[in-house]
Structure 1
């Protein structure tokens, strides 16, 4: 986050797009030029007395010039499932897919997954708790290099568009958007804690915006008026799921299964 007084201005090029930036406390705007299109990304700190103030790293995108838009669940290094899903979606030049984070760890091909997502202008991702673990030294992957870590550092905690918000974990229904930190939206399962005892935040959240999320492993996707849950346990032998935002439909492929997981840590469709 930005701290202190007025900041610098200039240009920077990274991961395929050029950012012309001006920074001022407590708000800043970043102009992103991507393939000739200039977009403005507004990030507001918690100290800004505006209704849309947020204290987590956030990127707003414009979907006006996009055709198909998808949100994809936790990949966890499962390149085979990712390639199968992307092959099913057949993304066109004006299509976009946004991942809910946890691209890495648990599965066998984290680096290849990062390479696949990073190199495509049609693929974006938010940061998940497993990306954060790598960045903070709580976990390590020897296959990753400096470019991989730079990419992980570049991932925002949230990506939004008009009416929609993609985060890894979720939101506390009892708090306004401005009352959430990066840690909250990365790890939220229940306001009572990051576990599977419940109550789950998505059972009580009433929007807006509509929130697309992962992190909580589900037996099948959750689709409600204000929440769409997409971690369907690909790395545990479940499915990798994409949600078609335009059509309101889920598309899934079956994962190989590289890690065992207790059924007590998978939210079933038959729960009360």
Structure 2
């Protein structure tokens, strides 16, 4: 195992980790849907009251991988964080940093950030937790890589994706691309950066799994797949089984937030 870089400006190279994996898209505080998806994938989840920790049993040697954006907008970001932190600590899961996770981290450091786009909900939810939990969250996010290289480089996981020439590179610029994706430098009518479709021209041999931008349903494009199916916006929470490339989902229990960019109702899906 090789960790390259410093703290959250690193990537994590795990060539010996061949899977099988369940890779889960942006959770955004949708804890009940996360539990339901994990149960559908045959995980058992138990909360140990005495230790205040989640204990998880995984099916058939599978490990979970989270594509980031664990927090904000949804109803229970703290328990999403606790479950993921406990699984990572137990060696049962990996996680990359999402832009929402990074913003929470900067806020916990005391930096001045704009408390909006769902961060205000996470702040309110975390107020019920003690300082030790806040410190644990801060340390956890600090140690997350911006992208993962797995299965001898055959699998790349980054929150907003990453083009082939940058796989395995650690720099501030690569980290920004992993968290936010490439942009044109212009803004749309809502004042938001216009994102570039990097996957349209991807021609790498490694599979790249990512999230960040909600889609109606995931589809393979040039050996890449976006697993953010907008659960927090009333869509679905989706998992990809690797290496089999099977998709599993649960529908959102409700619409928790309105997207900044339009996220229209999904057509009837063809995956299960």
Unaligned 5+ segments in structure 2 are 43-57, 108-112, 268-272
Highest RCO, 1 vs 2 (Cα 8 Å, sep ≥ 6): 2
Q: 2:174 corresponds to which residue? A: 181
Structure 1 pair 192/250, CA: closer, same or farther in 2 (3 Å)?
farther
State the partner residue of 2:161: 170
TM-score, normalised relative to structure 2: 0.71
Once the two structures are TM-superposed, the CA of residue 261 in structure 1 deviates from its matched residue by 2.5
1-side partners of 2:207 and 2:66: how far apart?
A: 15
What are the superposed Cα offsets for residues 151-208 of structure 1, whole Å, 9 maximum, x if unpaired? 11121111111211100012257x6444852111110055556868554111121113
- Tell me how far apart the structure 1 counterparts of residues 200 and 186 of structure 2 sit (CA, whole Å): 15
Corresponding residue of 1:25: none
**CA shift in 2, pair 1:131/1:191, >3 Å:** same
Q: What secondary structure does 2:228 align onto?
A: coil
Moved more, 88-97 or 212-221: 88-97
Structure 1: tracts of 5 or more residues without a match = 1-39, 46-54
Aligned-residue CA RMSD in angstroms? Answer: 2.8
Equivalent-residue separation in structure 2 for 1:193 and 1:214 (angstroms)? 22
Partners of 2:10 and 2:26 lie apart in 1 by 20
Aligned residues: 219
Shift of the 193–74 alpha-carbon distance from structure 1 to 2, 3 Å rule, reads farther
Match of 1:218 in 2: 215
Q: Which residue of 1 aligns with 2:201?
A: 204
SS at match of 2:28: coil
Greater share of helix: 2
| Residue of structure 2 in register with 1:99 after alignment | 66
CA 1:244 to 1:208, structure 2 compared with 1: closer, same or farther past 3 Å?
same
Mapped contact 1:101–1:126 kept (Cα < 8 A): yes
